[in-house]
Amino acid sequence: MSNNKIKILPENISNKIAAGEVVQRPESVVKELLENSIDAGAETIELIVKRAGKVLIQVVDDGSGMEEDDAILCIQKHATSKIMEFEDLESLRTLGFRGEALSSIAAVSQLEIKTETRFEEFGTLLRYDDNGNIVKEKGSFPKGTSVSVKNLFYNIPARRNFLKSDATELKHIIDTFNKETLGNPGIHFKFFNDNELVFNYQSGTIEDRISQVFADNMLDALIQVDEKTDFINIKGFIGKPSMLKKSKGEQYLFLNSRYVISRQINHAVFTAYESILEKGDYPFFIIFVDIDPSKLDVNIHPSKLEVRFENEKSVYNFILTVIRKGLGTHDLVPSMAFNGSAPEGEKINFDPYVKVEKNDFSDRPVFNKQQSFSKTNFSNKEIDLIFNAIPDEITEVKTNRELVPPFDNDEKREIMHIPSNISHPFNLSNETTFIVQLHDKYILSQIKSGLMIIDQHAAHERILYEKALERLEVNLPFSQQLLFPKTVELDPGRFALLKEINPFLVKLGFSLKFFSKNTVIIEGVPDDVKNGSEEKILKEIIEEYGANQREKKLNERDNIAKSYSCKTAIKTGDRLSDREMRLLIDQLFGTTMPYVCPHGRPILVKISLDEFDRRFGRTS
């Protein structure tokens, strides 16, 4: 008798173990069967589930079907029609290719296949009997293939016990069904749950499919992106900032029509949204990337959800640039509306479903030529009082100044000149707009569609944040030397933190000298710091930086820019003159993202005339 400890597993056990990689839950079966039908060239695909797929999962298609020999082979391990040799992986255009799905499903369920090609008079039925043997029958079936998976995991009770509730498993199935339908809008999909038709998505364009899956007006909440190069193409839709969610799950990435998960591309999209995103926020997007199959590898995991690119940096930068450009060519000021149907009473909320046109920035404050803000209109005292040394190129605004779209230049944060076919941000007509300060906190101004409300602190914070990032990047500090240097005593912890961030503060314009016993002398400060507030602002920056470091895990550069802008910006209660408010608005719309402050809060909102009319009961 052999005493060997290592033995080869029986095939029935090894099959069940291998199946666990491919078939993890009913949703896994749905994904594999739908992708087989898509690869078969189906024009109509029906998904039928009972008890959230635990009792039955059936996919019926009108695709090419299989002949008898192919039908018998398809349930064997590593049997596939998608590739013939290893090199075929480099030109892969099908969703399936590993030849594992049907054999894995057969190992953990009662599988039945009915299939008939368009050219045959009779089709083939395959099923397993109680002894695990394949039973083959001939018959007349609808053209195409029907795969029924009954009693999933009936022979692996432990795996069946790990399945969640029917509601949870059904949610996973619906999510996968919707992903497959979004990736293939030209196919007619039906979904039956417990004999009830739940979804019926007619074939059409991607725009049609988005409206079917989400909502009729969903496209109004999205921004279209479309860019083609010799190396890579990208098209799709990204959500407006008012569409940000606190939960994952609404990021749809399709690579050569295959739904995949890519941390690199997700990160590129998140980076494009920059400070719109607070920690825990997720943007909505549906992106289709088309790239030469030889430049990527999808054969990483049996689920085929992961992917690697040959040149990850190029793909990352391309996605980042395209998404930034998409955001930068649309006016993203959120509109507000009163919601009287809220269960806890009337609420005012953001309405993302307001259509915005590309390069239309006309819905902003309008000033006439007599009120244009040339540099000579402002006294040095007024400018220094609130904004101190705002860069000269910002205040030298001519009446023919053209729009500076956010993100139009991806590498440099600077005022840019762009083609004359883009509309003006301030349509300098004879129309005069009013501008008033509300409770020394908000600025109210008339716009084409109604009223714009600007948070003065958040607006100035955005301006200073971008100014700080630019200074940190170019490393050309400008320090305003104090006539009488100020001595500041700190506790050991804050003193150590200040020493740590001092290289960044120097770039911003601070000039500090450190002495023993936790003493620091302020000899110079940036031009944005008001006289008399030097010590207070330095201490507040240290506090804010420390809090961000602990709670938000920001990188050093972003943290120092946010801390500086937050504590240096004008505050609630600061009275602004008429000219200072106009200068603030002009400076704000010169930034790359005038819609949100560095912490992700909205800077400005619009209330439409239609909303006012509704509140006052006006019909015209």
Q: In the 3-class helix/strand/coil scheme, how is 520-589 assigned residue by residue?
A: EEEEEECCCCCCCCHHHHHHHHHHHHHHHHHHCCCCHHHHHHHHHHHHHCCCCCCCCCHHHHHHHHHHHC
Least confident of 18-22, 104-108, 147-151: 18-22
Separation between Cα atoms, residue 289 and residue 495, nearest integer Å:
50
CATH class of the structural domain 11-205: alpha beta
Query: 217, 207, 226, 210: which is closest to 354 by C-alpha?
Result: 217
How many whole angstroms from its chain centre is CA 583? 33
Query: 506, 508, 502: which is closest to 471 by C-alpha?
Result: 508
For 162, the token pair is: 């790990």
CATH class of the structural domain 476-568: alpha beta
Assign a CATH topology to domain 214-328. Answer: Ribosomal Protein S5; domain 2 (3.30.230)
Query: 147, 182, 149, 184: which is closest to 41 by C-alpha?
Result: 184
Task: Give exposure, 546-560, as e/b (b: 16+ Cβ within 10 Å).
Answer: bebbeeeebeeebbb
User: Domain limits of the chain?
Assistant: 11-205, 214-328, 360-459+573-615, 476-568
Question: What CATH number has the domain spanning 360-459+573-615?
Answer: 3.30.1540.20
Q: Percent of the chain scored above 90 by pLDDT?
A: 39
pLDDT digits (tens, 9 = 90+) for 436-488: 999 999 999 988 888 999 999 999 999 999 999 999 988 787 889 999 999 99
∠ CA 568-571-575, nearest 5°, is: 120
Res 338 pLDDT > 50: yes
Residue 403 DSSP code: P
pLDDT digits (tens, 9 = 90+) for 374-417: 444 455 555 455 554 444 443 333 333 343 343 344 433 333 33
pLDDT digits (tens, 9 = 90+) for 27-86: 999 998 999 899 889 999 999 999 999 999 999 999 999 888 888 887 765 444 443 444
Residue 328's pLDDT band, with cuts at 50, 70 and 90, is confident
Separation between Cα atoms, residue 58 and residue 40, nearest integer Å:
16
Q: Percent of the chain scored above 70 by pLDDT?
A: 77
Residue at 265: amino acid letter: I
